[in-house]
Structure 1
Amino acid sequence: MPLRHVLIVSFYLFPAIAIAVLAPVIPFVGLPGWGAGLLLLTVGSLVHMGMSVKASRESSERQLEVLAHELAVTRHDLDAAREEVSAIRETIEAMPDSGHVVSELKVLQGLLGQLSAKAPDKPKAKPAAAAAKQKVEDDAGLPAVAAASGASEPLLLIDDDEVLSIVEQALREDRVDLYLQPIVSLPQRKRQFYECFSRIVDDRGRVIMPEQYIPLAESAGLVAVIDNMLLFRCIQLVRRAVRGQPELAFFCNISDSSLTDVDFFTDFIEFLSDNQKLTPNLLFEFEQEAIVNPTYETQVNLQRLQDLGFHFSLDQVRTLDLDLPHLADLGFKYIKVGAHMLHELARGDDPQLDMGRFKGALDRCAMDLVVEKIESEDMLRDLLDLKIDFGQGYLFGEPRPTTAPAK
């Protein structure tokens, strides 16, 4: 029976018992009738109060026992949790990359949060895809994922919704491959650097090409998130690649959307600050347009990267009318120029570019020229007379997936 019911019953029962016990002795006491009744009620109430106090005390003692048991269980659980956290901390500290685990997780969490926050509309694919393909062929570049020169991978015959679904799932599940293309010294053709290209892979191992997903991502408002995620994945993969060959160096593109994304870049700088040992291995590439017409965020983030010790390469160059001393002050060490553009400017009876003077200006600023998209021996012979420093293109090797490039 519940305690509440017991107390109610006792309120009436104990006075009745008291009256029944004391009633025979009342006449001998000599009290009047009203005094006898009062005595009986007083005694009954006192008995009732005593029983109630005892019951309440016993109930409180039981509750205290229950609370003490729960406290003991809680303390045990807390001790177990502390031991688990301690074990995790020891595991992390024993890892080779323990110094940047926290910052890496912070960047990844933020990127996945951005990805989850997007609700892409159904994009219109065909016109955007055609425009993107022309953009690649014209060497205008793609945000964060530079299109490989002469790329020959076929586009998958899947619809737009499936492409976006594959891209989002691949980013969440780390199905991003690192493709590397060699950059060689000339005329020796010795491999000196690699340029990084990120490629998204579906669960069947098929590669989703940038010209297929970039226009869809732009229509869905996902392009900035994808740029950021691919940049972050690229740095992760480079970090692994240099473990076995610490002398390797890589060119990695940072898109303007990544450079001006305040939230992402703040976390990214923290991540890089925990990976400063990569400064000899990483050269960040930026499009000329973003550098010659910089936003405030671009200037600030360039300085933050330079303060960490990283150096840069100018990419997607459309004009060689450059302020080389200013670029050198910003941390630029390389200028990348397309082979066809350089041929048009420096060859012919009336060349627009005095190659000797240009190379001299580069040398005085401790900068080197990389000529990209060299596809044939004839093209190379034509360019070697210009005394170029480095070359890149299918003649020296196409982009290939790898995590440990051979020298």
Structure 2
Amino acid sequence: MVAAGGGLAVFCAVLHVAVAQRLRARVLETRVRELTRDVDGLHVEVEAARAELDSMRIRLDDMPDAEKLSSELKVLGGLLRQLSEKKEAAVGKALAAPDSRAGTGAEIKHATAPAVVLGEAQLLEAVERGLREEKVELYLQPVVSLPQRRRRFYECFSRIVTEGGRLIMPEQYIPVAERAGLVAAIDNLLLVRCVQLVRRARRDQPDVGFFCNISSESLADADFFQDFIAFMAENKQLAETLIFEFDQASIAAGDYVSRVNLQRLRGFGYRFSLDQVTDMDLDLEDLASQGFRYIKVGAHMLHELARGDDPILDMRALKGALDRNAMDLIVEKIESEDMLLDMLELRVDFGQGYLFGEPRPLAGSR
């Protein structure tokens, strides 16, 4: 009787386990079906999203630039259209009445690559294509603190690259661009490209500043500069490392509008540097009020003015005035150790020149 009762208990236990497993299997089957439906639904959603994205792309292509582009792309789009239109007009004019100088061509060189000779129309086409396709290379030259020679800044130089990888140097395209009336358009595009590349470079060197030149043509182009200010306002984080450089003649000749534009840039935190200084009779207080924090002077000129038995320039007074206005002096074109020693005796703040490094391309800038 006991044995029979024990067998019944075992049988009930086995039956309970079997029922529990069957129920669990049904639950799992139900869950699998639910997950399958969910996956199928996700596939449908993905395909719908993909179709919507394709539709958006089509709509974006049909929309006006002002509606579909950020300020950066709007600036570039407008400049590229302007350059293309002016280039087409210049090429047409050149073909209708070839310039006698076009036969000599212009050389495009890249290191040891063989020279390529282009006529004016071909050179303009190469420049326009290089800018349109973002084939711009950024060259950087170090600016060091003295006497430590620690790299604190870089000056930026833009170079246009051809399809074959050769560089088009400014001395090659500027004369042609001047004759075609394209200098402002090219300068403006190079400025925006330079800012784009600096934004990339600062990720690897966040503690280093970058000097980026703004030409007199860009400063005088009121329409472009308004868009450029809007572009820089959207990139205010660059103000920590980006310093805009203007030549002395452009600032001296600047009108009220140019001054207001500089104040607007300064309002977003950007600092300025005065370059190509030929007259040391500087109103440092006025320059500081406009946002200038650096003055660049050539080593040879500074030597002529500040050295000798009867120097024209009182370096002690200049340094004191710079310090009072929170400005620094950068001496450029220092090419030898003797020249450096000469400048160190004048207690300059920063140096630039081939002694500290020649301009070199930023890796991956294209």
Give the shorter-chain TM-score range: 0.7 to 0.9
When structure 1 is superposed on structure 2, of 297-306 and 190-199 the one drifting more is 297-306
Q: Is the 8 A contact 1:124 1:219 kept in 2?
A: no
Question: Structure 2 matches for 1:33-52, cutoff 5 A?
Answer: none
Match among 211, 230, 252 for residue 251 of structure 1: 211
Kindly provide the CA deviation profile for residues 214-271 of structure 1, in whole angstroms up to 9, marking residues without a partner as x. Answer: 0100000100000000000000000011123322210000011111212211111111
Matching residue's letter, 1:186: L
Question: Structure 2 matches for 1:151-162, cutoff 5 A?
Answer: 157-162=117-122
Match among 271, 280, 290 for residue 231 of structure 2: 271
Distance 1:362 1:85 in 2: 58
Matching residue's letter, 2:147: P
Question: Structure 2 matches for 1:221-300, cutoff 5 A?
Answer: 221-300=181-260
Distance 1:182 1:124 in 2: 40
Please state if 1:365 is matched with 2:325: yes
Distance apart, 1:296 and its partner CA: 2.6
Q: Is the 8 A contact 1:176 1:201 kept in 2?
A: yes
What is the aligned partner in structure 1 of residue 178 from structure 2?
A: 218
Q: Is the 8 A contact 1:183 1:192 kept in 2?
A: yes
Q: Is the 8 A contact 1:125 1:160 kept in 2?
A: no
86 and 284 in structure 1: CA distance in 2 versus 1, 3 angstrom threshold: farther
Distance 1:154 1:375 in 2: 29
What is the aligned partner in structure 1 of residue 53 from structure 2?
A: 84
Distance apart, 1:87 and its partner CA: 7.5
Distance 2:360 2:354 in 1: 11
Match among 289, 296, 309 for residue 349 of structure 1: 309
SS of corresponding position for 1:244: coil
Please state if 1:171 is matched with 2:134: no
Distance 1:161 1:291 in 2: 33
Distance apart, 1:152 and its partner CA: 12
Distance apart, 1:293 and its partner CA: 2.3
Match among 99, 105, 109 for residue 77 of structure 2: 109
Distance 1:154 1:393 in 2: 28
What is the aligned partner in structure 2 of residue 184 from structure 1?
A: 144
Q: Is the 8 A contact 1:334 1:369 kept in 2?
A: yes
Distance 1:124 1:309 in 2: 46
Q: Is the 8 A contact 1:153 1:209 kept in 2?
A: no
What is the aligned partner in structure 2 of residue 394 from structure 1?
A: 354
Match among 293, 313, 318 for residue 273 of structure 2: 313
174 and 185 in structure 1: CA distance in 2 versus 1, 3 angstrom threshold: same
212 and 286 in structure 1: CA distance in 2 versus 1, 3 angstrom threshold: same
Q: Is the 8 A contact 1:155 1:208 kept in 2?
A: no
SS of corresponding position for 1:279: helix
Distance apart, 1:116 and its partner CA: 2.1
What is the aligned partner in structure 2 of residue 199 from structure 1?
A: 159
Distance apart, 1:153 and its partner CA: 11
82 and 275 in structure 1: CA distance in 2 versus 1, 3 angstrom threshold: farther
CA RMSD, 1 decimal = 2.7
Q: Is the 8 A contact 1:244 1:404 kept in 2?
A: no
Q: Is the 8 A contact 2:135 2:162 kept in 1?
A: yes
- Stretches of structure 2 lacking an aligned partner (at least 5 in a row): 1-47, 58-68, 105-110
Question: Structure 2 matches for 1:372-391, cutoff 5 A?
Answer: 372-391=332-351
Number of aligned pairs?
294
Distance 1:375 1:124 in 2: 39
Distance apart, 1:81 and its partner CA: 9.6
372 and 156 in structure 1: CA distance in 2 versus 1, 3 angstrom threshold: farther
Kindly provide the CA deviation profile for residues 311-354 of structure 1, in whole angstroms up to 9, marking residues without a partner as x. Answer: 00000101110000110010000000001000000011111001
What is the aligned partner in structure 2 of residue 132 from structure 1?
A: none
When structure 1 is superposed on structure 2, of 164-173 and 329-338 the one drifting more is 164-173
Matching residue's letter, 2:207: E
Matching residue's letter, 1:158: L
Distance apart, 1:203 and its partner CA: 0.7
TM-score (norm 1): 0.68
Q: Is the 8 A contact 2:113 2:166 kept in 1?
A: no
Matching residue's letter, 1:378: D
Distance 1:347 1:160 in 2: 46
- Stretches of structure 1 lacking an aligned partner (at least 5 in a row): 1-78, 89-100, 130-150
TM-score (norm 2): 0.75
SS of corresponding position for 2:346: coil
When structure 1 is superposed on structure 2, of 244-253 and 341-350 the one drifting more is 244-253
Distance apart, 1:377 and its partner CA: 0.8
What is the aligned partner in structure 2 of residue 324 from structure 1?
A: 284
Matching residue's letter, 1:105: L
Kindly provide the CA deviation profile for residues 373-396 of structure 1, in whole angstroms up to 9, marking residues without a partner as x. Answer: 011111111111000000000000
